[in-house]
Amino acid sequence: MAPLTTMDTPVITLIGECMVELREEADGRLSRGFGGDVLNTAVYLSRLFGPHGSVRFATIMGDDPYSNELINAWDCEGVNCELVGRKKDSRSGLYIIQTDESGERSFHYWRSVAPAREFMNSDWQDLQNKTFDSEWIYLSGISIAILGDEGRERLLAALNDAKDKGKKIVFDGNYRPILWNNKAIIKNWYEKFWTLSDIALAGTEDESHVFGDKSAEETLKRLVGYGIPEVVVKQGTGPILLAGAEGQAYVPILAASDVIDTTAAGDSFNAGYLFGRLTGQNMSSSAQIGAVLSATVIQYPGAIIPRTNMPDLEAIEFT
């Protein structure tokens, strides 16, 4: 699959959820922000594109003050919020991040009332039509996990129809065990969405949990076997594995020197990788862009780092 050229203006729609984020500080106090795996990718991708790309976030939010605050924040980040539905008399979800001494994070969620899980309901048909009429469509394992079986079936049908119309699908296999009840069911759904993908963004830890893969190479082989044109396998601080029209490659990465919070490590990598691919970079250079952004993000607390702390990609020579 050839990347777009810099003459094009990419348009990508990302489907997911976003919640109020509370971070536990060292003294026990909580600081407030926002986050959600797909939204994190949308924000970082919007920052990278600037005015040279359109990033649309598709979800359902409530009409409470926090939902208003979150949507305003996304708008300030340059994310197009025209595909954000609003459900009357409902409120946003919430999660708390705790980090250990090494910066590894754990999450605690209050998301059961969040209306994002209703995105594929028939009540939102007009919003869905606009969402799937996009050049690129991005979603994650969390996007599908919150929908339930009926919602996932409707989503599959919509994505199949979009592919028939020439749209491209990007799937990130982000996995949260708490959102699933049965491993056999998980594997079934993941296989369906992987098979639909034009770009697969996988993590070894997620794929090991879902499929029992013993190595990054095993994950790469399985995903290539689904017929996915472009496959990216992330393995923490290990090399990134790539497979696509350019062949297969290992891309080594430089580990961050001071890890504060690993929240959004994979989400920011995805943003950097897609930015590279949609602006004409090859797969290896795109992976390097993603790795640099990810290494920067994990040196700051929370999912979304200050804009002033974004890495200067123009000062880095990618190969």
Cβ burial, residue 12 (10 Å; 0-12/13-18/19+): buried
Region of residue 265 (phi > 0: left; psi between -120 and 50: alpha; otherwise: beta) = alpha
Burial 47-56 (b: 16+ CB within 10 A, else e): bbbeeebbbb
Token duo for residue 280: 């004409």
Q: Which residues contact 282 (CB under 8 A, 6 or more apart)?
A: 3, 246, 276
Are 53 and 95 in contact by the 8 Å Cβ rule? The answer is no
Token duo for residue 307: 């804009």
Distances from the Cα of 282 to the Cαs of 5, 179, 242, 277, 303, in angstroms? 11, 35, 11, 6, 27
Q: Which residues contact 131 (CB under 8 A, 6 or more apart)?
A: 13, 15, 56, 58, 83, 137
CA distance 194 to 141: 10
E strands in the chain: 11-15, 19-24, 30-35, 54-61, 84-86, 93-99, 105-110, 136-140, 168-172, 199-203, 230-234, 240-244, 247-251
Residues recognised as catalytic: 267
Residue 307 per-residue DSSP state: G
Tell me the three state secondary structure of residue 316.
coil
Q: Which amino acid, 292? A: V
